[in-house]
Each structure stands twice: as C-alpha cells, then as structure tokens.
Amino acid sequence: MPSVSARLPSEEKEELDAVAELLDEDRSTTIRKALREGLAELRVRRAVERYQSGDASVAEAARIAGVSLGEWLEIAHERNLTTQLAAEDLSDDAYTAQQL
C-alpha cells in the first residue's frame, strides 16, 4: 500500500485523534475512512453542481459521483434536485434507464 503524508494544523490533529478514539480505531484507519468518505462526498457534490447547472445528464452525473444510475436517482431524489437539461437530454436519459 503506498504511503502519503500530509501536514495538519494542531486542531485538526486533535480532532483526528478524538474521532479515532471515539471509533476505537488507530489514526491510520480513521484517516483512510475519512478520506474515502470525504472523496465520495466531494464526487457527489460535484455531480450535483454539474447536474443542477445542466452541464451533466443523469448518466453523466452518476459517472461523476461514482455511483450506479439507480443510486444517483436516489441521491437526486433525497436532495430534491431539479435539472436544467433540454427535453432531448431527458429523453436520452430515459432511454439509458430503460436499457438497465
């Protein structure tokens, strides 16, 4: 497994240690978990932005978020997302959904 290092301000290190203790995990495990969950959230956030602006279709937003089309539709529903996509784009998305 490759190693990556990062410098943290004292407050963030203290928070990291507090969360690791809360989860009864070592610091490295907590960092890996936080990074994995944080990266997933960043992908979803970017997908939401692109979808909301009309720059991404349903299928493209799912790809950006790193989730299946069904999972993206759940995310979109939970976040009450609306789209600025043209009718043609929505038709393409409906066709894609039917193929699944």
At 55-77, the pLDDT tens digits run: 998 889 999 999 998 899 899 99
Q: What is the mean pLDDT of residues 33-44?
A: 97
Question: Is 13's pLDDT higher than 90?
Answer: yes
User: What is the 3-class SS of 18-82, one letter each residue?
Assistant: HHHHHHCCCHHHHHHHHHHHHHHHHHHHHHHHHHHHCCCCHHHHHHHHCCCHHHHHHHHHHCCCC
Is the pLDDT assigned to residue 85 strictly greater than 80? no
Find out whether 84 and 52 touch, Cβ atoms under 8 Å: yes
Whole-prediction pTM value? Answer: 0.75
Q: Residue 17: which H helix or E strand, with range?
A: helix 10-23
Give the pLDDT score at 95.
74
- Euclidean distance between the first and final Cα of the chain, in Å? 35
